[in-house]
Structure 1
């Protein structure tokens, strides 16, 4: 499953970068996040609940930040295991481009799932992944814009 997208954010690139790397902001922005804990500079322990149609699944796993080029880009990758559902894994390459007073956040996501969760079908998995990605990046944009507005006052 591959997803790409772009979010135009009314905040400078530094503010968006800071939002993408702040554990409390991430926790508030990740749909279904019930636990997020920084282990070190490059690793985060995560727990989320995801809805796939009528099925709600909890995943726990590790996220890793790599290829960091502050405040321009990074890769966030991870693998989560569900209690009975199987696993989901993926990576997102995130790029930030300054455009005047705004930032263009673009992303490319590659993902896969296995076990019982894979049996529900690629169309449902793809749709759920798209909704999560769209909401997450929109939430990050709103958080970064709010933080930038506060710092301007």
Structure 2
């Protein structure tokens, strides 16, 4: 399965990169996210609860970042397992491009899935993935507005909260959640 898209963010490229590398921001913004933990250099473990139609499961996954070009792009390789509900694995290429209104987050995802969740049907899976992505972006936009009230003020003001180095960007978590959902749906097909 393949998916691509983009989203305009009302913050600078650096502000988006920093927030997307803050596990606390990601945990708050990813629907159903239970935990995000670093397991090594550019490696993370994620636990996320997902419900697609009659199938719900807690997925445990791993993420490995490659080709990191801060604050512009990276490749995210991921695997997730929801036990009897299914599994998914794949990769995503993510970019942050500066724009007049802030920056644009772009992504291209390739994934495969298996298990019961694939039997739910592609339409339902696509709908849940779209809903989760919209929910993430809404939460992320709200978090960015709280941290950076106005673009002019945000550029002049110091960052309000320290951002841990070596974190996973939020857009990576979004992509992981979307890919896991799509993978589960594809596998149940």
Alignment partner of 2:148: what SS? Answer: helix
Match of 2:105 in 1: 105
Q: Are the structure 2 counterparts of residues 137 and 4 from structure 1 closer, same or farther at C-alpha, using a change threshold of 3 Å?
A: farther
TM-score w.r.t. length of structure 2: 0.72
- Answer with 1-10 or 132-141: which moved more: 132-141
Q: Aligned partners of 2:137 and 2:92: how far apart in 1?
A: 12
Match of 1:39 in 2: 39
Q: Which has the higher strand share?
A: 1
Deviation of the 1:101 alpha carbon: 4.7
1:49 aligns with 2:62: no
Flag structure 2 segments of 5+ consecutive residues without an equivalent: 159-189
Deviation of the 1:80 alpha carbon: 0.8
Q: Are the structure 2 counterparts of residues 135 and 64 from structure 1 closer, same or farther at C-alpha, using a change threshold of 3 Å?
A: farther
Q: Deviations over 1:41-86 (max 9, x none)?
A: 3111010011102322210011111111100011222111112212
Q: Aligned partners of 1:68 and 1:138: how far apart in 2?
A: 26
Q: Which has the higher helix share?
A: 2
Q: Aligned partners of 1:41 and 1:137: how far apart in 2?
A: 26
1:30 aligns with 2:36: no
Q: Aligned partners of 1:90 and 1:132: how far apart in 2?
A: 18
Alignment partner of 2:124: what SS? Answer: helix
When the two chains are superposed, the root-mean-square deviation of aligned CA atoms in Å is 2.0
Q: Are the structure 2 counterparts of residues 128 and 91 from structure 1 closer, same or farther at C-alpha, using a change threshold of 3 Å?
A: farther
1:7 aligns with 2:19: no
1:68 aligns with 2:85: no
Flag structure 1 segments of 5+ consecutive residues without an equivalent: none
Q: Aligned partners of 1:50 and 1:42: how far apart in 2?
A: 24
Asked if 1 retains the 8 angstrom alpha-carbon contact of 2:49 and 2:57, the reply is yes
